Amino acid sequence: MHKEENGEIDPDFINRLAGFLGFEEERVRHLFEKKYLARNWGKHEHMLRFDKEISHIEHGTVLYEKGSSFEIIMGFPKIRRAMVLDPTLKKHFNGLSKLAIEEKMNGYNVRVAQVDGEILAITRSGYICPYTTERANVKLNLEFFDAFPELVLYGEMVGPDNPYVPKTIYDIESVEFFIFDIREKNTGKPLPTAKRRELMEKYGFFQVRSFGEIPLETAPEEIAGIIRELGKNEHEGVVIKDPEMVLPSLKYTSSQSNCSDLRHAFKFYNEAGRDYMLSRIVREGFQTVEWNEDETEFKERCIQLGESILTPLRESIRNVKDGERLYEEVRIRVRDLKTVTEFENYLKRLGVDTIFETPQLAGNEYLVNIKKVNKSTNDKTQAIWEGELW
Amino acid sequence: MHKEENGEIDPDFINRLAGFLGFEEERVRHLFEKKYLARNWGKHEHMLRFDKEISHIEHGTVLYEKGSSFEIIMGFPKIRRAMVLDPTLKKHFNGLSKLAIEEKMNGYNVRVAQVDGEILAITRSGYICPYTTERANVKLNLEFFDAFPELVLYGEMVGPDNPYVPKTIYDIESVEFFIFDIREKNTGKPLPTAKRRELMEKYGFFQVRSFGEIPLETAPEEIAGIIRELGKNEHEGVVIKDPEMVLPSLKYTSSQSNCSDLRHAFKFYNEAGRDYMLSRIVREGFQTVEWNEDETEFKERCIQLGESILTPLRESIRNVKDGERLYEEVRIRVRDLKTVTEFENYLKRLGVDTIFETPQLAGNEYLVNIKKVNKSTNDKTQAIWEGELW
């Protein structure tokens, strides 16, 4: 009913959508024109996604028709960063007595929800990822969604078979979903942390590690201790939450996580964002001052930083000099070979340049190695080796 | 005759200027509107400067009426960077047998020329700096300009009394002008390197150090050696020239110079350009691969890089934490106190936030300390210490 014909969107659809969002029709039309409101494709074409934050609606929010109205799955709330723990926590969580501390895992953000009877995995930007959707259906206890069709799981897909952020540091063989938030459809209202943990435990879901509830008063010091421990195993950091989930959460990360980000960024120095690089470097500066490090610790931090930048940079530059192409090697594990084709088309549609290798049987599943080509860094580096000027 | 009245530029002036430049009148009017062509102020109001590269005219080019026509002082030709010496030099200077190698000094680019009987110092952007102008009149042999009124000196103002780039590494007590290029007015035609050196020697000018002429064949290797030596004293690098000055020059810098730039950039991390930082880091990567460094040398480079970034960053963050304001302390040395006032107004007009201290008599001159306030980094850092999120 609402499909575009000759590029025109059905006026009745616009009218109903405007009514649902509380926007003027003209504004809705404008959002479509600017592609701030865009469609998924293929069998999920009816699912709209906000490609930009609009009014109170988060970027990545997904919206689709349900009955005579619409249903919304709100995007990931942006979790802002504490650059220093003191006084930031006391200022931000002013009035609370306790804070819930949970691990921030290094994986791929995904929402899982039941839509029209199907379990779908929705990415941070509001795409329906076919691979993540297959994994969610294989890995998760689907009974939960029948019991709570109105709830959306917000979690992290973690492990080596994650084609976006593959990590081996969590001792996971393939991939698992670690839930860190549950929110209601439409309202986006979150469950309090204790309630969420209880519910997830009941259904046997993996959850991000909890460091319990900590008094606000001692939180900066205690979190610094947790961060140091997490850093030793290259773990990323923590998310600091109001246990009632009324105030927005904050994040704080380990030096090792900053350096790990930098290693990745400088491997592909010509595609990584300049601000991304700088922010990770500046965090190192604040952490060493806040933690009052002595000259030995500081020197160690300088070495870590320098090596995190220069080692991957040297490797990429050398590889190109030696005639190799720069790529990132990732892997997926699927039950159904159709998922491989769907995922390949999906990445192509998103503009990711990949080479899919032949699937290998592994038990009742298939492993597929994927090379993600980093064309920009590759071409730039090669041009320099051929004598091009900066 | 050509002054704007009520914001309107004299049509006759536009007409003559368009004729001189070979542009349509409409285009000239557009350049003024966009401020791509802008006026200096005060007594130099009649001097126009190109605030953008337009057609073949370099950014910073200056233009003024002379008799019934105009005279042009061309901007600094952009000197592009060789990221690696081999094969870049052979490719770029293909066909030449020898290259002239000269030191690239770390100072402030300035053109000095006689305009309407006055000796003026013109900055890279085409401003007439009153301080640099005074210093040029004090320091340079002015007879040269009477003998060659049609020639423009392109040089580097170097030394501790340089309020833009103060450096003590050159063993200069105050400031001196080191000439590296001489070009004709209007045409911008450069003198061959040997001719330029001979002429400058005759008039007793300082010149940038020459490393002589080197065969193209062995240049990459020889320059690498020169760069290593220069780096030991924190000197910046070299400019590699076609001795006839027909092909454009190239530059190549030492690791120490990259690190020195980074130390400055990270001291004022919130105002320094992201691309500026990244390019200096990437150069380190190419140099270590091109020079085939072993693990000991590489480790040393990593430490240098890490410390060049984190040491100034820590210092700035600490200083703000301790309630200090971040500024850069520079100094000028003037003969006439009027120059101090003019320079203060000049910097204000350019939007530089400064605190001028009381002039101190030093021989027959005055020393004035100037604090250049780095508001952006200061405010950002202070906000973080007060608990603001990133």
Examine the pLDDT at A4 and tell me if it is beyond 90.
no
DSSP state of B56: T
Cβ separation B310–A298 shorter than 8 A: yes
pLDDT at residue B204, as a whole number: 97
pLDDT at residue A390, as a whole number: 83
A13: left (phi over 0), alpha (psi -120 to 50) or beta: alpha
| CA-based end-to-end distance of chain A | 53
pLDDT at residue B9, as a whole number: 79
Contact between B178 and B155 (Cβ < 8 Å) = yes
Examine the pLDDT at A1 and tell me if it is beyond 50.
no
Q: Which option is the CATH number for B11-73: 3.90.1570, 1.10.1790, 3.40.50, 3.10.450?
A: 3.10.450
Rounded to an integer, the average pLDDT of A139-152 is 98
Q: Which pair of tokens denotes residue B53?
A: 């590269």
A256-321 carries CATH number 1.10.3720.10: no
Cβ separation A285–B311 shorter than 8 A: no
* Beta pairing class for A206-207 and A176-184: parallel
Residue B342 CA, distance from chain mean position:
21
pLDDT at residue A10, as a whole number: 87
Peptide bond into A87 cis (omega under 30): yes
Angstroms from A43 CA to nearest CA on chain B: 39
pLDDT at residue A273, as a whole number: 85
Contact between B102 and B209 (Cβ < 8 Å) = yes
Rounded to an integer, the average pLDDT of A356-369 is 97
| H-state helical runs in B51-155 | 88-92, 130-139, 143-147
> How does residue A7 score in pLDDT terms, banded at 50, 70 and 90?
low
Q: Nearest CA to A316 among A374, A388, A256?
A: A374
Per the prediction, chain A carries an average pLDDT of 95
Nearest residue in chain B measured CA to CA from A293:
B314
> How does residue A9 score in pLDDT terms, banded at 50, 70 and 90?
confident
**What pTM was estimated for this model as a whole?**
0.89
Tell me which residue in A310, A316, A318 faces B302 most closely, judged by beta carbons: A310
Contact between A126 and A62 (Cβ < 8 Å) = yes
Which amino acid would we find at residue A194?
A: A
Q: Which option is the CATH number for B327-385: 3.40.50.880, 2.70.70.10, 3.30.70.2160, 1.25.10.10?
A: 3.30.70.2160
**Which residue out of B305, B316, B319 would a mutagenesis test of the A interface target, given it has the greatest number of A Cβ atoms within 10 Å?**
B305
List CB contacts (< 8 A) between B321 and chain A: 289
Angstroms from A320 CA to nearest CA on chain B: 11
Find residues 52-111 of chain B whose CB sits inside 8 Å of chain A: 80-84, 87-88, 90-92
pLDDT at residue B363, as a whole number: 96
Nearest residue in chain B measured CA to CA from A302:
B306
Contact between B61 and B72 (Cβ < 8 Å) = yes
Contact between B257 and B106 (Cβ < 8 Å) = yes
Report the top-level CATH class of B255-321. Answer: mainly alpha
List CB contacts (< 8 A) between A277 and chain B: 274, 277-278
Peptide bond into B87 cis (omega under 30): yes
Cβ separation A317–B285 shorter than 8 A: yes
B82-101+215-251 carries CATH number 1.25.40.10: no
Which amino acid would we find at residue A232?
A: K
**Which residue out of A275, A281, A320 would a mutagenesis test of the B interface target, given it has the greatest number of B Cβ atoms within 10 Å?**
A281
Cβ separation B309–A305 shorter than 8 A: yes
Cβ separation A306–B311 shorter than 8 A: no
Tell me which residue in B80, B299, B310 faces A285 most closely, judged by beta carbons: B310
List CB contacts (< 8 A) between A311 and chain B: 302
pLDDT at residue A101, as a whole number: 98
pLDDT at residue B238, as a whole number: 98
**Which of the residues in chain B have pLDDT under 50?**
1
Q: Nearest CA to A151 among A89, A205, A78, A98?
A: A205
* B278 touching chain A per CB within 8 A: yes
Contact between B289 and A317 (Cβ < 8 Å) = yes
Residue A125 CA, distance from chain mean position:
9
* Beta pairing class for B80-81 and B250-253: parallel
B233: enclosing H helix or E strand:
none
Taking the C-alpha atoms of residue A48 and residue A51, their distance in angstroms, rounded to an integer, is: 9
Q: What is the pLDDT of residues B37-57, one digit of tens each?
A: 999 998 999 999 999 999 889
List CB contacts (< 8 A) between A318 and chain B: 289
Burial classification of residue A335, based on how many CB atoms lie within 10 Å of its CB (0-12 exposed, 13-18 middle, 19 or more buried): middle
Q: Which pair of tokens denotes residue B162?
A: 């340089």
Cβ separation B274–A278 shorter than 8 A: yes
Domain boundaries, chain A: 11-73, 256-321, 327-385
